[in-house]
Amino acid sequence: MNFIRFRSDSLCVENISALRLAKKYKTPFYCYSLAQLKNNFLRFNNIFKNIKPIICFSVKSNSNLTLLRELRKIGSGADVVSIGELLKAIKVGINSKKIVFSGVGKTEEEISKAVKKKILLINVESESEAILINKVSKKLSKKTSIGIRLNPNISGNTHKKISTGSKNEKFGLLYGDCINLCKKIQKMKNLKLEGLSVHIGSQITNIKPFKNMLSTLDKLIKRIKIDFKFIDLGGGMGISYSNKEKKLNLKKYSKLVEKFMKNKNAKIIFEPGRVIVGNAGLLISKILYIKKSADKKFIILDAGMNDLMRPALYNAKHQIMPLKKTSKRLAGNIEFVGPICESSDKFYNQKGFVKVKEGDYVGLTHVGAYGMSLSSNYNIRPTAAEVMVTGSNHKLIRKRQSLENLLKN
């Protein structure tokens, strides 16, 4: 079910026309459909209902407090990768026993906070990190639950900048190293080795890498004979960014996980981000100028790569929609670009577009994940506002950053 869609010729977020929102809030701004967010979470939960997983929403994909609070209300935990994300998860009331902490470079301060908060698992990515967690735990007189992150040397067949499961990547421990570290950890007095974790990348649309990942985990578990309490399968489930694109078949994935779980007592953890929030977001932007040049027309938006980094960083393609459809067309090669002084500040190329003019608005779709959370102040541009829509109501859930704030340093 799509909650951001055209109703006759108006692009709508639930029951509100995006044009109405564009006239109310200063562009560019992010806008989310709460129904879409909840629907995605509950659908995910339902597809995996036979294995009753702990779902730890990946806070890096979107860390807006209102959004996190809504997810907490419907049962979500949190996957965090920094002290900031950890504190946000706690602030919205997520139970610390539903928080997992991953990342190759956790600082002593971050570890200390996670140990004190007694979170579900700190997922260890190196021997030195395990030693440090043990030391910090000893100092605090705690016995800390940890997971160990396997690097299964499996490519997710996804964009190379969001691929984390191959042996040349910095993430996790290779098979042999993982086994050796498990043995060492079992001798560390202030650690409890409770989890085995893995995350092979993001936006994976093919089931095969997940299948290979599960069989590597199976092999490892049989070899080391540790009765892990938790098996954390990470996130990575791919979505379709346009009608033509394939998405991961979650039902097939759930069948594979059910099979994998036969004869195991562990609890499954998932860390989904994109599949929960990706299609729940729309970035609304105003057309500043239309400029003809050589063989194309540049449509210059007031949203730039500082607001939505994914196209510049990963060549990601976000569909751009007019807020009002008409049958009139703008012909020729059209390139949507931002105002930033970088030639990579471009969003989309296409042949023709609905006839638009300067001052009109457009919406960039599927920007809920890694949109706002990757935004920056580059070119001294304030970060965008965020708006939440539910039914026929809308509210500001993050103010646009003030320029004064940016002028302080």
Ligand X SMILES: Cc1ncc(COP(=O)(O)O)c(C=O)c1O
Task: Point out which residues bind ligand X (CB under 6 A).
Answer: 58, 61, 79, 102, 199, 202-203, 234-237, 271-275, 369
CB nearer to ligand X: give 19 or 78: 78
CB nearer to ligand X: give 17 or 249: 249
d(CA 85, CA 69): 13
CB nearer to ligand X: give 27 or 102: 102
d(CA 167, CA 179): 15
User: Measured from the CB of residue 202, what is the shortest distance to ligand X in angstroms?
Assistant: 3
d(CA 115, CA 95): 14
User: Measured from the CB of residue 225, what is the shortest distance to ligand X in angstroms?
Assistant: 26
Q: Can you read off the two tokens belonging to residue 219?
A: 């092999």
The backbone region for 346, taken as left when phi is positive above 0, alpha when psi lies in -120 to 50, beta otherwise, is: beta
User: Measured from the CB of residue 201, what is the shortest distance to ligand X in angstroms?
Assistant: 7
Catalytic residue, chosen from 31, 56, 182, 341, is 341
Q: Can you read off the two tokens belonging to residue 27?
A: 């562009």
User: Measured from the CB of residue 357, what is the shortest distance to ligand X in angstroms?
Assistant: 37
CB nearer to ligand X: give 273 or 382: 273
Please give the backbone phi and psi of residue 277, each rounded to the nearest 5 degrees, phi first. -120, -10
CA separation, residue 206 to residues 45, 46, 155, 233 (Å): 20, 21, 11, 16
Residue 107 makes CB contacts below 8 A (sequence gap 6+) with: 83
CB nearer to ligand X: give 145 or 285: 145
Nearest to 161 by CA among 201, 102, 219: 201
User: Measured from the CB of residue 198, what is the shortest distance to ligand X in angstroms?
Assistant: 9
Nearest to 306 by CA among 168, 187, 400: 400
User: Measured from the CB of residue 187, what is the shortest distance to ligand X in angstroms?
Assistant: 26
Residue 12's DSSP bridge partners are 5, 17
Residue 237 makes CB contacts below 8 A (sequence gap 6+) with: 204, 248, 250, 253, 272, 274, 275
Nearest to 64 by CA among 80, 45, 85: 85
Helix then strand count (H, E) for the chain reads: 12, 21
Whether 31 is catalytic is no
CB nearer to ligand X: give 79 or 386: 79
The catalytic residues are 341
